[in-house]
């Protein structure tokens, strides 16, 4: 375990002062854990583990606990989204989506359930170009929902090209099972499907699913209560820094203390600084710009990106990449003290380390 502390001119982030809207987070427990999965290339099994995060007076990780093992697609399930009390586990990249299941996992009951896949579109009349899976929680009904979005083109093709979006929704029951069937919905779109191709994973806050797009200048929001779409304008200075079609080297959206937060990729340019925009006033689209100043070159130290916060306020960051022989680790950023703490992840099976830490598929934080 290593500890890095420093002071800089970056403003400290104070989460308690950030959001003017009441958070709709479903987390109610101070017991925080990491969910880690690793893919065994020899057995084609994906193994899931849990590690408790102990809070101050000394921030540390506890002992690793094996949870369950899944026979898996050769690429594994690469995405894990947590909305208390469930994880949604799936493969994010098309076209692998139709070869892998969508699962729910409840860490409290240890129950894992396989959801039905949404009905395929007729291949004779439709070309499917992209598919995305999103997970949300509607606080008004206390229901979890899975949203599937497909970008399609009719056959035969026309000039100019016609791109359509197909939406299906599955409502989960209290056990995390999709006991009903997928519903196809036809919402009015406030954007052009060609311009707003999905470019990353989504984040659910304030009863809506949010995601960035590859070409548009706004964040797409899908309200889970009325199942309608709207747009949230990106901060102007964010667009000046990041507005290009290839801005998805890593996931940009995450939840920061109940707020929607947006990451800049300027750490790749300026080496030591990562800028954040936090949606302080959700209803009026007021963004606040903050910075994280690293005491190392970002690209040379695993490219850590934020994935959430823990109850004591620290931002949790995971590395995007690790050297072949590097130990797996996570990074905590104390926003008030502006200090970092890097903690190694120990106790993983030997085959994880001998195969290289790139076989680690997911690292997520959850309460419970």
Please report the pLDDT score of residue 7 as a whole number: 39
Please report the pLDDT score of residue 98 as a whole number: 60
Please report the pLDDT score of residue 358 as a whole number: 64
Report, as an integer, the average pLDDT of 31-44. Answer: 90
* DSSP secondary structure of 199-228: -S--EEETTEEEE-BSS-SEEEEEETTTTE
Residue 292 host element (H or E):
strand 286-293
257-286 pLDDT tens trace: 899 999 876 655 557 888 899 999 999 999
User: How many C-beta neighbours within 10 Å does residue 310 have?
Assistant: 17
Through-space distance between the first and last CA atoms of the chain, rounded to whole angstroms: 25
Cα separation, 364 vs 82, in Å, equals 8
Please report the pLDDT score of residue 298 as a whole number: 85
Alpha carbon distances (Å) from 242 to 161, 201, 250, 269, 270: 27, 17, 13, 11, 13
CA 212, 282, 91 angle in degrees (round to 5)? 30
87-108 pLDDT tens trace: 999 887 666 556 678 999 999 9
Residue 230, pLDDT > 90, answer yes
**Mean residue pLDDT across the chain:** 83
320-354 pLDDT tens trace: 877 666 788 999 999 888 899 999 999 999 888 77
Residue 21, pLDDT > 50, answer no
Pairing, β 329-334 against β 339-344 = antiparallel
Please report the pLDDT score of residue 267 as a whole number: 55
Please report the pLDDT score of residue 15 as a whole number: 41
- The two structure tokens encoding residue 129: 């170009």
Token look-up 């003017």 returns 20
Structural domains of the chain in order of their starting residue, each with its CATH number: 2-367 (2.120.10.80)
Report, as an integer, the average pLDDT of 121-129. Answer: 90
Residue 13, pLDDT > 80, answer no
Give the model's confidence band at 123: pLDDT under 50 very low, under 70 low, under 90 confident, else very high.
confident
Please report the pLDDT score of residue 225 as a whole number: 98
Give the model's confidence band at 301: pLDDT under 50 very low, under 70 low, under 90 confident, else very high.
confident
Residue 27, pLDDT > 70, answer no
Report, as an integer, the average pLDDT of 174-178. Answer: 91
Alpha carbon distances (Å) from 263 to 27, 33, 288, 296, 344: 23, 23, 12, 18, 24
> Of 93, 118, 92, which is closest to residue 185 (Cα–Cα)?
118
């Amino acid at each position: 375990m290593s500890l890095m502390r420093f002071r800089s001119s970056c403003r400290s982030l104070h989460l308690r002062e950030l959001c003017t809207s009441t958070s709709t987070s479903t987390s109610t427990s101070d017991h925080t854990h990491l969910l880690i999965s690793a893919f065994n290339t020899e057995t084609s099994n994906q193994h899931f583990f849990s590690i408790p995060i102990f809070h101050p007076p000394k921030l540390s990780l506890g002992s690793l606990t094996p949870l369950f093992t899944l026979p898996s697609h050769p690429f594994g399930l690469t995405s894990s989204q947590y909305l208390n009390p469930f994880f949604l586990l799936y493969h994010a990249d098309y076209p692998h989506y139709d070869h892998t299941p969508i699962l729910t996992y409840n860490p409290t009951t240890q129950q894992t359930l396989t959801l039905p896949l949404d009905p395929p579109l007729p291949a004779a009349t439709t070309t499917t170009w992209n598919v995305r899976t999103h997970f949300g929680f509607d606080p008004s009904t206390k229901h979890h929902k899975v949203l599937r979005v497909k970008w399609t083109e009719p056959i035969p093709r026309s000039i100019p090209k016609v791109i359509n979006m197909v939406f299906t929704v599955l409502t989960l029951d209290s056990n995390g099972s999709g006991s009903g069937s997928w519903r196809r919905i036809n919402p009015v779109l406030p954007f052009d499907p060609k311009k707003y191709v999905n470019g990353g994973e989504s984040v659910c806050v304030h009863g809506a699913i949010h995601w960035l797009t590859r070409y548009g200048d706004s964040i797409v929001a899908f309200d889970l209560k009325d199942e309608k779409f709207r747009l949230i304008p990106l901060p102007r200075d964010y667009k000046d820094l990041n507005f290009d079609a290839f801005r998805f080297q890593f996931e940009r959206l995450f939840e920061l203390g109940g707020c929607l937060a947006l990451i800049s990729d300027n750490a790749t340019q300026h080496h030591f600084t990562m800028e954040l925009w936090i949606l302080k006033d959700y209803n009026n689209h007021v963004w606040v710009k903050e910075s994280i100043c690293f005491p190392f070159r970002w690209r040379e130290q695993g490219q850590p990106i934020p994935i959430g916060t823990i109850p004591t306020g620290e931002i949790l960051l995971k590395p995007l990449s690790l050297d072949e022989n590097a130990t797996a680790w996570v990074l905590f950023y104390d926003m008030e003290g502006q200090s970092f703490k890097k903690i190694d992840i120990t106790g993983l099976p030997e085959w994880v380390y001998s195969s290289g830490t790139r076989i680690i598929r997911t690292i997520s934080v959850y309460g419970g």
